[in-house]
Structure 1
Amino acid sequence: MTKTLYLLRHAKSGWDDPVARDFDRPLNKRGEKAARTIGQWMASNGVTFEHVIASPAVRVIETLDGVWAGYGRKMEPTWERRIYLASSATVLDVLREVDDAHDIIMVVGHCPAVEDLVFDLVPDDGSSPLRDEVEIKYPTAALAQLEIPIDHWADIGKPVAHLKRFVRPRDLDSSLGPDAE
């Protein structure tokens, strides 16, 4: 059996927004566009999932709103406070609690946890050029797809996953790249 894990980093947030807490920081215009763009890519590339677990931070909520707008379908995520600014070890703990009835899930959160999960789960043996791309940078609104040869989410943690896809907003629209500002 194989489980599929999608890791979505929240879209670009507005650092110049005068919020009192980091948790409340919203997306900026580029982030809104990137979230919709990733959602459209997901729809046109047949990305499906059965369950979504997400940080309840404002920038994640707004990212999902944009993704759903582009995807054309909304899902109600499980809001998991432990994912907010978590380590990859904490996110692994959350994943180990997932019901095995869900074979395809998406986690929406923050760096460094989403990036570190790729490093924790995909072997560093030179066989994955996509892993090398993640090492360069896991930008905002990027989506990774991991195929993990496990039967139970409780068994997740060993570096046995295959990084099947790594899609960055700039791959889909050059105006969303780092040099576009």
Structure 2
Amino acid sequence: MKTLLVLRHAKSGWDDPVARDFDRPLNPKGQRAAVTMGRYLRDQRLHFDHVAASPAVRVQETLAQVAIGYGATIAPAWDQKLYLASVGSLLDAIEAFPDTAATVLLAGHNPGLEELVLDCTAESGALRGEVERKFPTAALAELRFPVDHWADAPARGAELIRFVRPRDLDPSLGPDG
């Protein structure tokens, strides 16, 4: 059994004058949301053996804030191919995860992450319906694959175990109104 925790980066600052999209930092609400998701991971005892992440500034900052809430250092394998990755690129990355890792945290961007969760979970249900509506910033999905090797995961499909948004944990982290 392999478990994939899919984490979208937290809300970034569109007001920040950066030259490249890659360099956009988190805004204050995004920082709070990432700490909140880190606490959730800790409180739910969701541990991971490996972290793969886009090296974009907003993902780096998200994981730094998640680590604060989680109460432990997170040392990702930064992978440029995960920056704004398509579903195909994300599936390739999953197939290459080390088999020694039972649980992997994958941090990156939409629309790829949302499409990944939907492509890997064929069943219908309330959780999948929530993902179909929107996979917002700092949201976390947990997928469980019935495989022993990550290389087999994409072909087998997964069960969507949980889908949590920052606003589910703290209503003030919901959409601006």
Report the alpha carbon displacement of residue 158 of structure 1 after superposing the two structures with TM: 3.0
* SS of residue paired to 1:165: strand
Candidates 137, 145, 148, aligned match of 1:148: 145
The amino acid that maps onto 2:129 is D
Unmatched tracts of structure 2, length 5 or more: none
The amino acid that maps onto 2:171 is S
Report the alpha carbon displacement of residue 159 of structure 1 after superposing the two structures with TM: 5.8
Contact 1:120 1:159 in 2 (8 A): no
TM-score by length of 1: 0.95
In the aligned structure 1, how far is the partner of 2:21 from the partner of 2:133?
25
Is 1:34 the counterpart of 2:33? The answer is: yes
In the aligned structure 1, how far is the partner of 2:153 from the partner of 2:110?
19
In the aligned structure 1, how far is the partner of 2:46 from the partner of 2:102?
13
Contact 1:145 1:163 in 2 (8 A): yes
RMSD of aligned Cα (Å): 1.0
* SS of residue paired to 2:141: strand
Identity of aligned residues (%): 55
Report the alpha carbon displacement of residue 157 of structure 1 after superposing the two structures with TM: 1.5
In the aligned structure 1, how far is the partner of 2:13 from the partner of 2:74?
25
Contact 2:87 2:115 in 1 (8 A): yes
Is 1:18 the counterpart of 2:46? The answer is: no
Q: Deviations over 1:69-91 (max 9, x none)?
A: 00000121000000001101101
Q: Deviations over 1:86-113 (max 9, x none)?
A: 1011011011111111110010000011
User: What does 1:93-132 correspond to in 2, within 5 Å?
Assistant: 93-123=92-122, 125-126=123-124, 128-132=125-129
The amino acid that maps onto 2:108 is G
In the aligned structure 2, how far is the partner of 1:159 from the partner of 1:32?
35
In the aligned structure 2, how far is the partner of 1:58 from the partner of 1:145?
24
Counterpart in the other structure of 2:55: 56
In the aligned structure 2, how far is the partner of 1:76 from the partner of 1:67?
12
Contact 1:43 1:70 in 2 (8 A): yes
TM-score by length of 2: 0.97
Candidates 142, 155, 160, aligned match of 1:158: 155
Counterpart in the other structure of 1:176: 173
Unmatched tracts of structure 1, length 5 or more: none
Say how many residue pairs are matched. 177
Q: Deviations over 1:146-166 (max 9, x none)?
A: 011111111121362110010
Contact 1:5 1:105 in 2 (8 A): yes
The amino acid that maps onto 1:90 is S
Contact 2:34 2:62 in 1 (8 A): yes
